[in-house]
Structure 1
């Protein structure tokens, strides 16, 4: 019994596949495509253990297509070209059922490796299915991304995970022979972090640690059996998300000591430097914003620098940026402003642009009063004149409230001096 439990229980059909109902449920976006056999090239984006590889295999089986798989970790351009050539010979040029090429961890492919896929995808020699745990907008080249649909896979919820455990107990060839009482599941579910593969591997480890076939599983037993396995940093699993969360929250909480500690945990664990730098770039805007606009500049320069340098020297640049961000004044005013604006758009729909601020490049548009009564701010004292820029239905709506810090207090004073009759600053 060398095959892991997660592999033995891997679903072979849509009926056995758990979770992701938004994709393969009764009204899922992929359901009809699979039934009709019309599969576009796509990228599955989601945390580890959410069924990306399994779903790709099932799609190939359900649509009766040849299936080729590569891992971006150990495949190069030559491997990609060899597989594409095999795919073409297997009938990709002469049938609507062109082969499926599955690439695991596609975000690890270099630009040249991704470029080597373009023609095959564009010509329809293969249907590409890529799997990634990272945001494809950052990690997949735009030319390839534009040729693919992106589908998000969510972490398994409690019901899905408990169903998996019950399947293991009742259906697995080996575990079903034991008398297992699953008394408590909280510890198992917590340690899995929504990762189905990790859950089953932990469960198998616990079951195999018992000498007797009569097994009672409690939270205390789970923690006792696996505590030594959760200390190390796992850059593809739960700790990957927990530690980056601790890192960003330490920066947000203005604690450079904690921030640099969690940074060290990631550096020692071999975390991708661009992943760390990208999160700091987001934090510089979300958590610091206009309280210190320079933070965004430094974070952006950090991202560019570590992308060019790599380890080990990048750790110094990352540390400089992390401590700078932690020591910066904080404001989420800009973040809240765009959230408020998006919510307003959802509630009010596509409101018309006021005529006075519409563009009027043609005579007809001018005759329709496009741009009429627009007041050019630079023609007035202090380069300002009070004007209505919002649709009439939401006029005088304040979406940006400056934070309470020296820079944004200056913003508040600026706005208060100008918008005396419109906004309450």
Structure 2
């Protein structure tokens, strides 16, 4: 097959490396998977300076992009995030609140989404240029923001190009509260319904979110598929034949680790109070440490409230040791003896780190809503200790259970857990969908 004969995917992701924002790993892995499957891939994403301002950047993550992928960085207005007051207009200086409101309304005229709606025109222009230079066979937009779905809809209307909608969260479902966002007949709801009716497929990260959309759009259920977040094969391979020091409690200490974004809805205080209680009840845990790695909040600057809370428990051997590049994630996990999984409380929340946690083979202390979608992922795994309720006492109990197990884990135990997790590998999630889409465009 010559280069010109390969199918061409236009992949749309506002957040793409070097962004360090939520969802970037899914975007990176999906585009790479298509490239490895023999597709030409062009990515439409925001300009680099946007990530410097908003999400922070990870240069090492950018190095993991498949070298065959073409990246088109579409200008995105940074006016809202401008920190230099000398660059503000007189109207904004007079009332930043009023200026922000008017700007948000202007954005919504183009597309019914605050902040990102104004990106629509630049996206459409970039889409037309790409398609004119190199005809697109398929568009895959990953949200949020939901404006990422516009190029697929645009090329479908203009040239009959099929498109896929990949939902990292949801457009009209609040995944934390379970409540519907907005009115059923709002402009955005009508737009989403139109997009879904014309899409070839829609992907969701877990069964509960998929099922919610089936209830909302029962006539479209056959289009809806679960493509879960997952772990990469390269990541899992680094834990093969893993061993840990074992021994009697009198000579052991443990490192419990949390790796991921730490933000508002996570029951962080309950977990920390539970850790403090466990230290008072267990000599083993009193000699052990609880280490947090990852970002504090979703923006480039750490959330000061979260940082202050972690610092408050420093005397309990709790430490925050900074964000981690994607290329260093496996090495960080290798420093831990057990894992803390703390998630926002909702049946619709899975989180990407659940899959990595499962792949390490390490014992897991889960402090989150018992009916979380993450519980569905881990329910048959050995060495998983979930709370029965979100409280400090329940967290204390699972810390005690997990610690007792951690000191007795063997290489065989780790291997069993890693083998169990093999069905959660990235390729197992994406390969069936890529093969199906190749059939749709007639390039199988």
What's the TM-score once normalised by structure 1's chain length? Answer: 0.30
Higher relative contact order (CA 8 A, sep 6+): 2
Higher share of residues assigned strand: 2
Higher share of residues assigned helix: 1
What's the TM-score once normalised by structure 2's chain length? Answer: 0.29
